[in-house]
Amino acid sequence: MDTRHSDLPVVVIGAGPVGLAAAAHLHERGLPFTVLEAGDGPAATVREWGHVRLFSPWRYNIDHAARRLLNEAGWVEPDPEVLPTGGQLAAEYLQPFADLPALKPHVRYGARVVAVTRLGMDRVRTAGRDAAPFLVRLAGGTDVLARAVLDATGTWTTPNVLGASGIPAPGESAAAPLVEHALPDVLGADRARFAGKRTMVVGAGHSAANTLLSLAELASQAPGTSVVWAIRSASPARTYGGEASDALPARGALGSRLRAHVDAGTVELLTAFGVQRITPTPDGAVEVSDGNRTARVDRIVSATGFRPDHSFVAELRLDLDPVLGSTRALAPLIDPNEHSCGTVPPHGVDELAHPEPGFYAIGVKSYGRAPTFLMATGYEQARSVVAALAGDWAAARDVQLDLPETGVCSSGQPLGGGRTLLPVFGQVETGTGCCGNSGT
């Protein structure tokens, strides 16, 4: 990091779990920082799926540096073995942390970033580039100068489409009023939209599984409610996961419960079903076709994953993998065509670096479209990158993760050093790895 700008802050974009973890490490390292959050409070995205219970207990969901700061303030840590909901994660951990005197003055809410560039130069200009500070522009026209920028914005607001070819299927836009994105609150705030209706869930990740289980429960309560599950793969085995062999019982139970509903016929499973066309009908329903079969439903839940938005950093020099949208160095380590969650190695600042010195995407956005990201990985990314910004390269390159096995990766794909990746909160969506699905 250029010492000529040591008076400028490191700007962290996003006050979610990983962005706030970066702030914790920046504080511990004594580096000035500013967190810019588009929402009106911390963990705005987490609160959108606040009704969902994580299948990882508290002990995996708290960043080490954040824990140290909270403990110094007298925080009462939740039971490490309890499974929190997203709402509890936000209210009992992220909100108290963001409110600490060490952080609160440095977090700006309602600050939506629309562009990041270098002061006085576009992407083409090279002379003097490394010496120029970053310019971060907010939606209202305010500019913030920075010595480095950490993009922790995530991918929640840029979901994948339903169309099997990666672009919207014909009719998808017209059917938008009947399409829900991942993790609707089926048994709570959104109940009225699903009760007594026939709903298709498209996707084979843990978000899809959570929604399917909620819809199955609703079907037992509300007459006329029925559920269709469409996946592109020929088998739901990857979604079922390790079941009883999973080191996290709640994660294993997710697959076991879903399998029971499919076997009982509560959930109608359509395999090898890639959405090719969606046709709204005159009576307010939609017909969803894979080219050979057609399912008529009242609503669709699109649990097909997410993709990164790099548009607001288009004037920076990024080395993006053309397939995944991660850094080119990270892509071979996380490619779902080659890797499952049990074979993705720990990684840090070296794999996250771009040709633009001082800029890093961390958290789920760093994985691009790859499905095997986990919150603990994001925390370790934040620690590694901040150590590098502080000049402590030994710590930056000492990247370690020690996580519980899924119970599904050991067949045919040996686990490396016990470092199996832990899905975060049921939002791993695409791919062929054990943390993802086999093809939506």
The pTM score is 0.88
For the chain, domains (ranges, CATH) are 3-157+306-396 (3.50.50.60), 176-302 (3.50.50.60)
Question: Percent of the chain at pLDDT above 70?
Answer: 86
Instruction: Supply the pLDDT for residue 251.
Output: 62
pLDDT tens digits for range 160-210: 999 999 999 999 999 999 999 999 999 999 999 999 999 999 998 888 999
* 228/160 Cα distance (integer angstroms): 20
Averaged pLDDT for residues 78-103: 96
Contact 36, 152 (CB under 8 A): no
Residue 422 — very low, low, confident or very high, per pLDDT cuts 50/70/90? very low
Task: Decide if pLDDT at 158 tops 70.
Answer: yes
Contact 369, 308 (CB under 8 A): yes
For helices 64-72 and 17-29, what crossing angle results, to 10°? 70
Task: Decide if pLDDT at 403 tops 60.
Answer: no
Residue whose C-alpha is closest to residue 299's, from 182, 202, 178, 184: 178
DSSP string for residues in 149-197: EEE---STTSBPPSSTTSSPPTTTTTTGGGEEES---TTTTTHHHHTTS
Contact 320, 328 (CB under 8 A): yes
Both structure tokens of 270: 């359509």
Averaged pLDDT for residues 383-401: 96
Of 98-102, 262-266, 428-432, the poorest mean pLDDT is in 428-432
Contact 267, 230 (CB under 8 A): no
* Mean pLDDT taken over the chain: 88
